[in-house]
Structure 1
């Protein structure tokens, strides 16, 4: 009965019978059988029977799963009959096998010693692990089967979950592919200016990207000259004013690596350090430090190449209008070529994990965020069916009283196999979600260091999220909810998820302080950001289901004066967009003034151009 429950749950969210996965299971069973018996011929002869048994099990489990459409009384009767027959058959088969084995192999079993079977078992387990890793858990590149198990100092190139650069360009969602006319990767400001002049001469628009984790179409273009900015990535630290000057293509990891040498750290950045600074500025990213606001507050000045091919410098004092519009302006007003960022001390933090019921999580986070010693703060919510959004874990990092700072660990993307396995299990079944939650709640505090540096705490791995299933994708969204509306939001959010049957993988909550510095601000008051992951099948039905869910959710967000992070999928209507972000009309007015020919564009801008222009008019 336990096996039936496990397998029926594991396959509950699979829409088809995947032959490679069944073959994998057959190979694993064969290796285990070989380790126990050492009989090559016998195992080879029984493989057809194993295949038949697996298919029978599959259809039996489909039958059990189909019970949900039958009445309760009929369901109980059929379940009783199926379980009785199946378990009765298992008991009888076990008895027959035991009797035959005792008669046939009594002498042989006595001869077999543990030390003779141990090498077989070790080899079987090793091969099984590699097969599982190569087939299910590894990233699609399959560069090296042991890459996730061995800690390395660094990984060449910039890590991204988006497809490789190509004229058919796509982002990390794998849902927004568009053809670009040409791709260039400038390494100097002169090359950027040259590209702008070429585009003007050829009457072609320019689109920009970093590692393409903005999923709303802002990092893509249609028939554009596309600039891959990842090679413009210099990082220079000035100890006099404690300002770090950064190229737009530099990742936060590159910035952290330089700052760590001077005992400094980043003030505001996303939860992982793989993202580029230029991309973070274009969406005005926020972090999880409740003492700092969004990224714009950490920027002292910017260098930008504008539509006339000239590099200019902007800051909040001398050029406040364009400074506030460029940061969070989604690349529509120019190309950021360098940012000058304020830094903070790379202090030592003490980590604590606080289990709590979700109805108390916001009040607790509010109390923690007002404590100046709490420097990083977020909460995770349970997503399994039994505890759906009802349990929470608060991650708190408080300044520790110590004279020594632990060594920075910034290369955490290499040894993440276990994380990947656990997250993949949670993609596949409710059992996996329960297992992941229990691991996070009970094992997490045991393996997390008690003290760590700020740089380490802000270098969360992200590659374990890579989805090896080509038939599905993970959709990331974020909603900013006013503090007073958060508990009501959670109730309505859970209701909408169940109504539209959306598969939720993860929910993270972070405090977001009021931001009036950015023109297109997503936090006009203190809010909580709900970062969520959904699993979506690559088919029109599932995509439309997500569209319908997000449109209805958007109406609710508007009713409570909440906002949706525009750097994620644009599932909203043009009217919803302009109502939620009225300052977009000012951004479009500035674009008409400083970029009248729309040299800088994106798929997102082209999709919403008419609505934005009509609102401006």
Structure 2
């Protein structure tokens, strides 16, 4: 009876929820990102499909250049004013593939969804990627993404080699064994060293996974993870969601390797899924305390009732459309992320929660992830084994709203630095330069390499505008 009552509430609220979508039109030569907070007027946009076209832009254009992929960074990291924007999204072919060696080489503009569709036919899967499959592979390398993959970490751990076009027009190969200096600067380098054109990735086997979850107090999570998840080779995906507004309870969610019969027969999520329920949930949760209660006590218990069994590749093909609200005209939804060494988990999260509460941040969700140490990228965010706190929140779009976000962002960056941690760079660029240098102590060395390989400062974006002289 209780389950049917909850379903009735959910259905009623869904009916009264608006489901219309406000899709902003792209103006000519205006580059923006998914948050719609950073419209940037570029000189023009070039959409290459071949190496020769990219080489032609880099060698022959006198102006500065910016590089864009899926445009899911949220602070202008893919553009700056008056640059020639190279839009990589049509540069998306599969170049070579070996099922036996479990590796694939792709053009950097390919989206993960397209890559997974290809390798799924051979019962293979990617080792590391972010949760959503709309990103381009080159963009993911440029920000050195991570995901929910247990025992993994930044994507650089699964990259065998790259090809990169330097400012002088040279197209070179780089790997951990060849041109290492460029390899470790380019991955996580936000397009500052050159244009990543090709990527060779290690793959792994696709398998069936069973979802399991448990609710607990956040104070017990580190012990739970260390003893139940970290060294369990059967766990493929794992994250823990912290529930607002009290922030003292979490739901830990794992997908474990299994031989059980599938409950979801599809091998991949649909390309054109309907996300009415998701948009309803976003709107409801963001609008009131009642919505946050509804998510915690009604929506999530319904969603996680029963342990589904699905393919690994099904879980790897989420579409960001499920997060898209009905409108971003007056408010928008944004991410931030903070990393702290695992030993600092218990001392960081109370500081984080205090900052969020004192500043009355409209938090939708905080997801906890785990990542192993980065093997050597110059702009490494995982300088040690870390927990990541991914904050998804709602904010207004006015200048006054942005100033409020800037204040509490600075407080969270300070809190992470005190714990010998860092913050993630693909989001709104509010860190002071001294904060940036403390969180990324190798940045000055990276800037030396940028000057070496890009002496005329050809490759630019808002991140370098803020911190690179």
TM-score (norm 1): 0.71
Kept in 2: contact 1:349–1:399 (CA 8 A): yes
Q: Write the deviation string for residues 496-540 of structure 1: whole angstroms up to 9, x where unpaired.
A: 112222111111111111113212110111111111112111222
Cα RMSD between the aligned structures?
1.9
1:140 aligns with one of 14, 22, 27: 22
1:393 aligns to 2:254 (yes or no):
no
Partners of 1:536 and 1:390 lie apart in 2 by 23
2:142 aligns with one of 260, 263, 282: 282
1:182 aligns to 2:44 (yes or no):
yes
1:445 aligns with one of 290, 304, 307: 304
Kept in 2: contact 1:409–1:455 (CA 8 A): yes
Residue 139 of structure 1 deviates from its aligned partner by 2.4
Kept in 2: contact 1:503–1:536 (CA 8 A): yes
1:246 aligns with one of 106, 110, 115: 106
2:270 aligns with one of 406, 411, 430: 411
**How many residues of Structure 1 are paired with residues of Structure 2 in the alignment?**
453
Name the counterpart of 1:146.
none
Residue 406 of structure 1 deviates from its aligned partner by 4.9
Partners of 1:331 and 1:283 lie apart in 2 by 9
Residue 569 of structure 1 deviates from its aligned partner by 1.0
Name the counterpart of 1:370.
231
Hey, which of these two has a bigger chunk of helix by percent? 1
TM-score (norm 2): 0.92
Q: Write the deviation string for residues 389-447 of structure 1: whole angstroms up to 9, x where unpaired.
A: 1111111111113598954123265122112111211111111111122244311123x
Partners of 2:157 and 2:93 lie apart in 1 by 22
SS at match of 1:514: coil
If asked which structure has higher relative contact order (CA below 8 Å, sep 6+), I would say 2
Residue 292 of structure 1 deviates from its aligned partner by 1.7
SS at match of 1:575: helix
Name the counterpart of 1:498.
357
The 1:605–1:509 alpha-carbon spacing in structure 2 relative to 1, beyond 3 Å, is same
Kept in 2: contact 1:253–1:410 (CA 8 A): no
Name the counterpart of 2:426.
567
1:529 aligns with one of 388, 392, 395: 388
For the pair shown, which has the larger CA radius of gyration, 1 or 2? 1
Name the counterpart of 2:5.
none
Kept in 1: contact 2:260–2:309 (CA 8 A): no
1:596 aligns with one of 446, 449, 455: 455
Kept in 2: contact 1:358–1:390 (CA 8 A): yes
Name the counterpart of 1:112.
none
Partners of 2:125 and 2:115 lie apart in 1 by 8
Partners of 1:517 and 1:197 lie apart in 2 by 30
The 1:469–1:305 alpha-carbon spacing in structure 2 relative to 1, beyond 3 Å, is closer
SS at match of 1:484: helix
1:348 aligns to 2:348 (yes or no):
no
Kept in 1: contact 2:352–2:415 (CA 8 A): no
Name the counterpart of 2:337.
478
The 1:427–1:273 alpha-carbon spacing in structure 2 relative to 1, beyond 3 Å, is same
Residue 287 of structure 1 deviates from its aligned partner by 1.4
Partners of 1:343 and 1:325 lie apart in 2 by 23
The 1:165–1:191 alpha-carbon spacing in structure 2 relative to 1, beyond 3 Å, is farther
Hey, which of these two has a bigger chunk of strand by percent? 2
- Map 1:178-257 to 2 at 5 A: 178-199=40-61, 203-235=62-94, 236-257=96-117
Residue 340 of structure 1 deviates from its aligned partner by 0.4
**Where does structure 1 lack aligned partners over 5 or more consecutive residues?**
1-124, 142-161, 611-617
Name the counterpart of 2:6.
none
SS at match of 1:443: helix
